[in-house]
Structure 1
Amino acid sequence: MLLAAVFFGLFFSVCIAALVWPRPRARRRGPRRVGRPRVSILVAARNEEATIERCLRSLAAQHYPASRLEILIADDGSTDNTAAVVRAFIAGKPQFRLLAVPGGAGAIRGKTNALAHLCRVATADYFLFTDADMALAPDWVSAMLAAATPGVGVVTGITTAGGGLFGRLQGLDWLFGLNLIGLLADHGLPATALGNNMLLTRAAYHDVGGYEGMAFSTHEDLQIFRRIVARGWGFRNLCSPAVLGVSAPQPTVAALLQQRKRWMKGTTDLPWYCSGLFGLYAAFYTVLFWPGLLPLAPLALLYGGKVFLQTLFLHAALRRVGRRERLGVLLLYEPYLCLMSVLVLAYVLWPGPVEWKQRRYTWAEA
């Protein structure tokens, strides 16, 4: 009982701290940037015919001079009509280019190879990365650039998901995790970047040898973030409507489990404080429902307290990015989280490959 009291005391202290811990005001380091620098926007696409036009429309609608944008799309061996969709959309838009991806350089392959090829072709001093299933806010380029002050090598935006109820619950998952990571970053604790909403400076990218200088991984964004930060470059994790990206949701539970299995592999490389934070949250159910540990009344009180604080945190996360959600959906996130946690754990433990962009990798390769 004493151990349970210590655990729940720590758990709720962390939850309350996440709600009330003040975020420091962003301080501009170095002089203001004069003019509009050229920017390379890089999109790796594989079998994205259903979503990529949505992404391209959002990039074409950026509140940034088209003449200062270089938007490079890599067709990474698509077997569907991705290339045809892109060609039709970019006709008459000189800021866009479609590229075919050559074979891998060194150990890299798959999407990482496509990204490396895009970086070799890009000509600007700022690389902005997004995925083909993303739609970005109109001020995305400007807001990300504003955070790339002198000494900052990597900037990460915020992501959610759209669609129906299943997609919106996935979106809450994105916002929950990324707001915790952003809170750590605001207090100087680096965790990770997000490859679907990320800026790297050319200087920082080449300082760490680029993607070619890394061992192959299916979480290349975490890898390059860690290398850049280790070299002494600054980092920013932003959370505002201007840097919001809306991902297309995973269409089925099976597809969502495939995505989360890859993410779970990535969590093995997170810093201890980040893994500990998510591990503490995951352990809540195990301790709470341990047979015979707690009487029914305190069990219900603790569970209700967790749902209450979680709902407040999600509400605050939504407000930060200028979105709203009905209370019923916020409350429905709890059973969604419980069910998906069990399914993901079972799926990860079940022997099988990690699937990423219609390619299969062993757990060790991923």
Structure 2
Amino acid sequence: MIVSLIYFSIFFGIFLLVVVLQVVNKPKLPAPLTLEPYVSILIAVRNEEHTIIKCLEAIGRLDYPQNKIEILLGDDASTDSTYDVIRQYIRQKPFYRCVRIKEYLGQARGKANVLAHLTRLATSDIYFITDADIQVPRTWIRDMLAGTRGQNIGIVTGVTTVKGGGLFPELQAIDWINALGLMQVVSDLKLPVSTMGNNMLVTRVAYETTGGYENMPFSVTEDVQLFKAVIRHKFWTTNLFHPGVLAFSSPSPSWRQLLHQRKRWMQGIWHLPWYMSMVLVVYASFYAFCLPFGAYTSGWVVLGIFLAKLFLQTWFINRCLARLGLRYRISTVILFEFYAIFVSLITILFFLLPVKVSWKERKY
């Protein structure tokens, strides 16, 4: 009983702090740069024949001089027609280049290996990294570059969510916004949190100072691995939570793929800064303490705690959505709580199973 009371005090203390910071901190996007530097967009692709065209079309709509962008794609041994689809699309587009990745560089594997190759081909001092199933906004480059204002910035991270019709994609989208919103609150305190490998900017000097992916131990969360290395070499990072850097990802089409995605993410959680891991663990373990607490008190008390949590969470999510110019029905936001309970339970069980992570049709 005493342990549960201590836990609830910590939980609601953290959540109330989050609420207060959401009200007090209203970070605006930094002023845009007056210069338009040459930049490289790096995309690792593997079996993306159904998504890569939408990704490239979004890049083609970027509000940035075309002659100041190079787009480098690395095909990671696709077993479908991804390479041919890309080659057909980029014909007579001199700023695009697609290469087949056939060799390993050092310790790098999978996506990290592709990016290790592409960074060697890049000719700019600024790398923009995204995924083949991502659609970036028109203002992506300009607004991400605005985040490089400041001393010794190594990584700038945008915000990503899911886009798709139906209840399942909508719940996934809210889940992304909720998690990234919590991370943004910590970032607003000028503390490093993490990055998103599908929506990030890395400076050449920061990347090369780390030795590159070829000199990092392999991880299925290669973005977190790079983030840690950049921080370790005394570079600063910044996270932007703004419509101008909001990218959309394809949703997980099935529960199986969602669980493999979550298992991969959970492996990355343990590499986050301790304070960020604590926030996520305390948040995720709410019901582990709430349900046993019912044995020591009345059901009304448990119901009151649940409703308080549901109210604070719904308010927080709606505020995050408003910041990004997004909107979902209030019923869907409330339903997300029950979705989160179910997904958390089955994710923990799946994480404990001796099953390898399936990612891009490979086992890790």
Taking structure 2 as the reference length, what is the TM-score of the superposition? 0.95
Could you tell me which residue of structure 2 aligns to residue 240 of structure 1?
Answer: 242
Could you tell me which residue of structure 1 aligns to residue 211 of structure 2?
Answer: 209
**CA contact 1:288–1:294 (8 Å) conserved in 2:** no
Could you tell me which residue of structure 1 aligns to residue 84 of structure 2?
Answer: 84
Report the Cα distance in structure 2 between the residues aligned to 1:325 and 1:147, rounded to whole angstroms. Answer: 28
Could you tell me which residue of structure 1 aligns to residue 310 of structure 2?
Answer: 307
Report the Cα distance in structure 2 between the residues aligned to 1:234 and 1:27, rounded to whole angstroms. Answer: 17
Could you tell me which residue of structure 1 aligns to residue 152 of structure 2?
Answer: 151
Could you tell me which residue of structure 2 aligns to residue 171 of structure 1?
Answer: 173
3-state SS of paired residue (1:127): strand
Offset of residue 105 of structure 1? 1.2
CA deviation map 1:43-71 (0-9, x unaligned): 00000111111111110000001110001
3-state SS of paired residue (1:191): coil
Could you tell me which residue of structure 2 aligns to residue 296 of structure 1?
Answer: 299
Higher deviation after alignment, 122-131 or 267-276: 267-276
Could you tell me which residue of structure 2 aligns to residue 352 of structure 1?
Answer: 355
Could you tell me which residue of structure 2 aligns to residue 263 of structure 1?
Answer: 265
Offset of residue 210 of structure 1? 1.1
Q: Which amino acid aligns with 1:213?
A: N
Could you tell me which residue of structure 1 aligns to residue 60 of structure 2?
Answer: 60
How is 1:1-366 mapped onto 2 (pairs within 5 angstroms)?
1-21=1-21, 22-23=24-25, 25=27, 33-149=33-149, 150-163=151-164, 164-290=166-292, 292-361=295-364
**CA contact 2:135–2:247 (8 Å) conserved in 1:** yes
Q: Which amino acid aligns with 2:326?
A: R
Report the Cα distance in structure 2 between the residues aligned to 1:314 and 1:208, rounded to whole angstroms. Answer: 36
Offset of residue 217 of structure 1? 0.9
Offset of residue 28 of structure 1? 6.2
The verdict on how the C-alpha distance between 1:171 and 1:207 changes in structure 2, with shifts beyond 3 A counting, is same
Q: Which runs of 5+ in 1 are unaligned?
A: 362-366
Report the Cα distance in structure 2 between the residues aligned to 1:88 and 1:140, rounded to whole angstroms. Answer: 25
Report the Cα distance in structure 1 between the residues aligned to 2:235 and 2:253, rounded to whole angstroms. Answer: 37
3-state SS of paired residue (1:185): helix
Offset of residue 6 of structure 1? 2.3
Report the Cα distance in structure 2 between the residues aligned to 1:148 and 1:109, rounded to whole angstroms. Answer: 29
Q: Which runs of 5+ in 2 are unaligned?
A: none
CA deviation map 1:103-154 (0-9, x unaligned): 1111211111001011110111100000001011110011001111241110
Identity %: 40
**CA contact 1:154–1:199 (8 Å) conserved in 2:** yes
Give the count of matched residue pairs.
Answer: 359
Offset of residue 294 of structure 1? 2.8
Report the Cα distance in structure 2 between the residues aligned to 1:170 and 1:214, rounded to whole angstroms. Answer: 31
Report the Cα distance in structure 1 between the residues aligned to 2:35 and 2:112, rounded to whole angstroms. Answer: 32
Could you tell me which residue of structure 2 aligns to residue 364 of structure 1?
Answer: none
